[in-house]
Amino acid sequence: MGKFIYDGDVKVDFEDRLLAHLQAVIMAKVRRGESFPFTWKDDLSTGGGRTTVYIHPNVSLVFKYHGSRSPQMSAAWLHALTYNANSGRGLYVIPEPDEFAPRESSRRDEMVFREVPNEQVPASQA
């Protein structure tokens, strides 16, 4: 389990592989000076619910990994997370899509990515 720390106060655990994908998307947007909300579902062990933080270039972000190796990155997952981050809703955690078969909506130009249920993504606020 890695840890995402926002502005020194908000701390949440994510699997290292998910955290690496979130870091890639978040840092790409921050480098471009873009601000956006980032939402995740809190673990039931911490009371459940969800948390949203507003990511902007002037906030302190820490990505602390449990493992020492960089996880293999998925182009499809990066695309899906970036798509969500660029939407009005902002970035939120989704399951890794199949590299070769993204789910499509009834609209041809719109991809559909669903949130991960609480029990599938360990995320607990510390």
Which residues pair with residue 40 across a beta bridge?
51
pLDDT (0 to 100) of residue 53 = 97
Tokens of 88: 């009005």
Q: Can you give the pLDDT at residue 67?
A: 87
**Claim: this prediction has a pTM higher than 0.75:** yes
How sure is the predictor about 98, in pLDDT bands with cuts at 50, 70 and 90?
confident
Task: State CA 22 to chain mean position distance.
Answer: 4
